Amino acid sequence: MILLTFIIILMAGGLMAWIAERWVPSLSRWISLTAFVINLVMALWIWVQSNGLVHSESVWISKFSVAWIPSFGINFSLALDGLSLLLLVLTFFLGILSVAISWNEIQYRIGFFHFNILWVLAGITGVFLTTDLFLFYFFWEVMLVPMYFLIGIWGHENRRYAAYKFFIFTQASGLLMLLAIVGLYFIHGNQTGVYTFDYFQLLDTKMSPGVERWLMLGFFAAFIVKLPVVPFHSWLPDAHSQAPTAGSLILAGLLLKTGAYGLIRFVLPLFPVASAELAPWAMLLGVVGIIYGAFLAFSQTDLKRLVAYTSVSHMGFVILGVFAFNELAMQGVVMQMITHGISTGALFILAGSIYERIHTREITNMGGFWKQVPFMGTIALIFVLASLGLPGLGNFVAEFLTLIGTWQVNKVYTLVATLGIVAATAYSLRIMQKVFLGKEISHHAILDLSMREKFILVPLVVVIIGLGLFPQVVIDAAKRTFAPAAEVSYTKQVVNGNNVQTIKKGEHE
Amino acid sequence: MNLLWLIPTLPFLGAFILVLFGSRFSRLVNSFIGAGSVGLAALITLFVGFDFLSASINAYQYVAWQWLDVAGLSAAFAFHLDALSLVFIFVITFVGFLIHVYSIEFMKDDEGFARFFAYLNLFVCSMLILVLADNLVLMYLGWEGVGLCSYLLIGFWYSEEKNGYAARKAFIVTRVGDTALAIGLFMLFQAFNTLNIQDIATQAPQLWTVGTNPPLIIALLLLGGAVGKSAQLPLQTWLPDAMAGPSPVSALIHAATMVTAGVYLIARTHVIFELAPVALIVVGTIGATTLLLAGFAALTQYDLKRVLAYSTISQIGYMFLALGVGAWSAAIFHFMIHAFFKALLFLAAGAVIMALHHEHDMFKMGGLKSKLPVIYWTFLIGAASLAALPFITAGFYSKDQILWLAWAGENGNIWFFLAALLGAFITSVYTFRMLFIVFFGEEKTHVNHAPGKLISTPLIVLAVLSLVGGFVELPHTLGHFTLFSDLLNPVLPSVSLKQDVESLEWIMQAIAAVVALSGVYIAYVFYLKSPELSDKIKESGKTLHQFWFSGWGFDRLYDALFVRPFVFLANINKNDVVDKMYEGVVTMAIGFNRLFVFTQNGILRWYLMGIVIGGIVILTIGLIIS
């Protein structure tokens, strides 16, 4: 029941925020803030209740299911495991920040803005929770439309173009997934006589390799566009750079993670054989993304575009790790999802606060800001360092685990990906140099972070350092999800008896 | 000994407090926090060291918390104290403390005072973690932390564009080496399923036999990391530029921290290197080559600090040479002595530069002997120690040991010895060239600022150490006192000599002594007695001079090979060629749209014509098919 409450609070909060605008516009801010705080507290409460999931026996902490459209076998079913819980906590945490960061930035149609924020996050929450494929597709669309409005209404100068591009890319790939979902539904129905969209039942669908391959590609398409994987990334720099700060924060911090989550939750378990076949190619795409994104990030002069391309590079590690099929890499991916959400989110927030001060995103018009805004500089330094993978900050743990796991599977890709970290050093330090160091070229006075901005950024700093020094908290929470889930899908491969060898830890190579 | 955890924690706390509140405190408070935290750490090091020695155990372990534990990969925040790490933490905290004290006066007018001490403290903390880490993941944390702090400190005066460039260069070049190290870690984990250093050291000889491939590859990868941090060939290019930072930073990077990390890494993982004799030869060759290349480059520099920078590269080359012949404790001995005299030289050079309005060019200095007597005498002692003048300087004892073992050690050979000997000669030439140009001759720039107590005291302490520090280890011929190598013996095996060479030791020493002294004489002739001679030589070998001056052209080479292609590729694709593909789709859609819009023109004739033509086409196709 509590799972449903998460979504209801967000959706109802959204409607209330929209209505509240009529009387007191600023009330909508408080409403959405409250909704996120309540959800965050509930999510943390679950985490604490289950003792950090260290000794949890079953994978699923909580489940909820009611019939929705029984004639088609569609249920409103939700389930929460360690991975979902981690991502929910991240969602609500970033939700609070996105409300806080928009406090002054958004002065126009405030109620509708907060409606959209709450509904995007409701969609994301649903995606992270649902175990019914039809419902999954429903939530997948729910997060798309409000995001379209967020970019299209409150974005920067080229917002319409960016919003369309975002919508078309996501929608087109989403339709492929819908086809695959329906295909899977009928195949399973024909086989067993039970027509259902239920995730757990569909897991046991038997398919010929050809069919499995095509259905897998349908899901894969939707997820790699969202992640994004080169060459399907080109919506991202436009969407990220044109969106308002809160939009960029949600896009980078959460929306991209739904792609990664989809790969982990659906593609691998539903289509184990096809995934194993695809693995070398998927990993290649990851490596290409790491390097290609790094090159592009290095040459950008629009600060938000630059950070957007760093996302492309960092998400390359996700797909690389997911298809390495071992626990080390998988835990690395989970860390990467969370730490990237924090660190890139923070960089977008910083870019937003610089934009508020000097009304440009061009780094050629920046330089030497440290003198005037040392506090902001220090915080930017920390997140730049996170982005280049400095040990002691969360991103290092993510990349290190991913790479050490990937090494066991493919040495060449790992080598190239590791070199990508050198490139990451180059583009990350370039941010520092162009914005905060060097000659002071701005003539107007810039104010250092306000109290509100400090309240947003300091917790992010604490979290990123905390994750760097005590990553075990996250690892423990996700452990139960992986160990058995991995076993299930992997043993299934073995049972299927295909020529899939790279299965269990220690057996590769 | 259970205070061990405080040693890295105190500087960390110092940095933490300075970052948070440094801007609100007065300079006095900031200097107390900055220098005090390291000073306290040094005191605790004394206690811990005393405890450790009197307990006569081989190692002490302190686990702070479990950092990571995933699928067999377990890494803790755990410290491992043995003789090797003890020597390192001793040098890091003590020399580090002296540098901090010196910095209080050196940086007193700088607006980034608190920031400077925060970085400095963090630097010391990272280096302490590096040498105390009991597993390679934690060591990697210290390793990267050191790289970060070097970036922050080299670029400390950030408004100069070129400082930022030097800072990024240092970070990125060392990170290239770190990539190799990271891959080495991945391979070690795959082989041993652990990254705990002691576990690997005990398991490696059981798993591998000497001369097989896996230890060779891993040793070479570790070496890749080591050459990056220790500025050895081919990744030495960052160090000369690292002079952009304030002088105390150079002292810290060159003496107590950073560049010696590579030496530490190889000594720490010596078990793997011993399983890979080829890798050891590579280490020795890199050391021998680097010490010569850097020595020649040092001969031609004008900038006082650049001479010292190249001399550091060269002296680390000696340490690598020692590691390469398996003379582990000799390398560590030279590390310690080098830390004393190089810190001294850099601090003294900094004081000279400060006294002359930030003048770096040696040829604009001169005659400072009488104006800055304290600096002169201490610099002289440091220079003598660097040049390894016989008997009285510590540098003689440490370098002599390397020279001797380069030939007489089991793995030594005559080429290593000759390279080291030639290097010793060059060292003493460029060292005294520097000394004569700066302190003798006529005064060219007026001294406007004499150093105070906070600057002269660290100099004097370091000068004393540069003289007496060598007496902890004396060769067979001169007293045969082996306190230092005995201390290290449980960790680092002693080197065995070739047969029947022992009697030759005094001859070798005599040669080394003569070579060092003749270097001084050459410098005297060329730079003091008849300076026109040196100009003549410079003129006759202009291209060679220019080549050496630029550090053998490595910067240009790398620029052409890596930097420019990278920047070119990045810039040419700034607008993302992939996006053009999608734009193509859009253009196509618009094109079709225009095409079909044309058909909907509202003229009935056109529509009728269209229907007729369409009908004919369909009928024709139908006929053809049937």
Question: pLDDT per residue over B554-599, tens digit each?
Answer: 888 888 888 888 888 888 887 888 888 888 888 998 998 888 888 7
Q: Give the range of the structural domain holding residue A460, as residue numbers without chain letter.
A: 2-501
Distance from C-alpha of B257 to C-alpha of B380, rounded to nearest angstrom: 23
pLDDT of A356 reads: 86
Which DSSP letter does residue B62 get? E
Distance from C-alpha of B271 to C-alpha of B486, rounded to nearest angstrom: 19
Instruction: Provide mean pLDDT across the span B268-289.
Output: 91
- The band of A503, judged by pLDDT with boundaries at 50, 70 and 90, is very low
Distance from C-alpha of B272 to C-alpha of B280, rounded to nearest angstrom: 10
Judge whether A269 lies within some domain: yes
Q: Per the structure block, which two tokens stand in for B523? A: 């410098």
Please say if the pLDDT value at position A487 is more than 60. Answer: no
Interface test with A, best of B77, B192, B218, B576 (most A CBs within 10 A): B576
Please confirm whether the linkage preceding A374 is cis (ω < 30° from 0): no
pLDDT, tens digit, 9 for 90 and up, residues B27-69: 888 888 889 999 999 999 999 988 888 887 888 888 888 888 8
pLDDT of A442 reads: 65
- CB contact at 8 A, A308 and A275: no
Is B68 within 8 Å of chain A by CB? yes
- CB contact at 8 A, B159 and A439: yes
pLDDT of A52 reads: 60
Q: How far is CA B410 from the centre of its chain?
A: 28
pLDDT, tens digit, 9 for 90 and up, residues B461-508: 989 988 888 887 777 777 777 777 778 878 888 877 777 777 777 888
Helix (DSSP H) and strand (DSSP E) numbers for chain A: 20, 2
Degrees (nearest 5) of the Cα angle B298, B553, B299? 15
Residue type, A67: A
The answer to whether A400 contacts B19, with C-beta atoms less than 8 Å apart, is no
The answer to whether B161 contacts A391, with C-beta atoms less than 8 Å apart, is no
Q: Say which residues have a Cβ less than 8 Å from residue B517's Cβ, sequence separation at least 6.
A: B389, B390, B428
Please say if the pLDDT value at position A508 is more than 60. Answer: no
pLDDT of A450 reads: 86
The answer to whether A296 contacts B574, with C-beta atoms less than 8 Å apart, is yes
The answer to whether A328 contacts B175, with C-beta atoms less than 8 Å apart, is no
Please say if the pLDDT value at position A505 is more than 60. Answer: no
Judge whether A509 lies within some domain: no
Maximum average pLDDT range among A207-211, A333-337, A353-357, B108-112: A333-337
- CB contact at 8 A, B266 and B354: no
Closest among B79, B57, B7, B75 to B37, alpha carbons compared: B7
Please say if the pLDDT value at position B602 is more than 60. Answer: yes
Q: How many domains does chain A have?
A: 1
Judge whether A506 lies within some domain: no
Residues from chain B that touch A412, judged by Cβ atoms under 8 A, are none
Please say if the pLDDT value at position B509 is more than 90. Answer: no
Poorest-pLDDT segment among A127-131, A401-405, A499-503, B89-93: A499-503
How many CB atoms are closer than 10 A to CB A94? 25
CA count, 13 A, side-chain hemisphere, A340: 30
pLDDT of A54 reads: 62
Which residue has better confidence, B571 or A245? A245
Judge whether A508 lies within some domain: no
Q: Which ranges in A436-471 belong to alpha helices (H)?
A: 451-469
Tell me the residues of chain A between 342 and 381 that have a Cβ less than 8 Å away from chain B: 368, 370-371, 374, 378
Is A484 within 8 Å of chain B by CB? no
Distance from C-alpha of B401 to C-alpha of B505, rounded to nearest angstrom: 10
pLDDT of A483 reads: 67
pLDDT of A488 reads: 43
Quick one: what percent of chain A has pLDDT higher than 90?
48
Judge whether A182 lies within some domain: yes
Residues from chain A that touch B158, judged by Cβ atoms under 8 A, are 368, 370, 436-438
pLDDT, tens digit, 9 for 90 and up, residues A259-313: 999 999 999 889 988 898 899 999 999 999 999 999 899 888 899 999 999 999 9
Mean pLDDT estimate for chain B: 87
pLDDT, tens digit, 9 for 90 and up, residues B85-99: 988 999 999 999 999
pLDDT of A220 reads: 92
The answer to whether A296 contacts B582, with C-beta atoms less than 8 Å apart, is no
Please say if the pLDDT value at position A506 is more than 70. Answer: no
The answer to whether B70 contacts A401, with C-beta atoms less than 8 Å apart, is yes
pLDDT of A489 reads: 45
pLDDT of B12 reads: 92
Is A404 within 8 Å of chain B by CB? yes
Q: How far apart, in Å, are the Cα atoms of B186 and each of A181, A364, A482, B178? A: 39, 40, 22, 12
Q: Distance (Å) from the C-alpha of residue B282 to the closest C-alpha of chain A?
A: 22
Tell me the residues of chain A between 107 and 126 that have a Cβ less than 8 Å away from chain B: none
Tell me the residues of chain B between 418 and 447 that have a Cβ less than 8 Å away from chain A: none
Pairing of strands B473-474, A74-81: unpaired
pLDDT of B320 reads: 92
pLDDT, tens digit, 9 for 90 and up, residues B371-399: 888 888 998 999 988 888 888 888 888 88
Distance from C-alpha of B320 to C-alpha of B313, rounded to nearest angstrom: 10
pLDDT, tens digit, 9 for 90 and up, residues B154-210: 988 888 888 888 898 889 989 999 999 999 999 999 998 889 998 898 888 888 888
The answer to whether B570 contacts A505, with C-beta atoms less than 8 Å apart, is no
Please say if the pLDDT value at position B5 is more than 60. Answer: yes
Judge whether A507 lies within some domain: no
Mean pLDDT estimate for chain A: 87
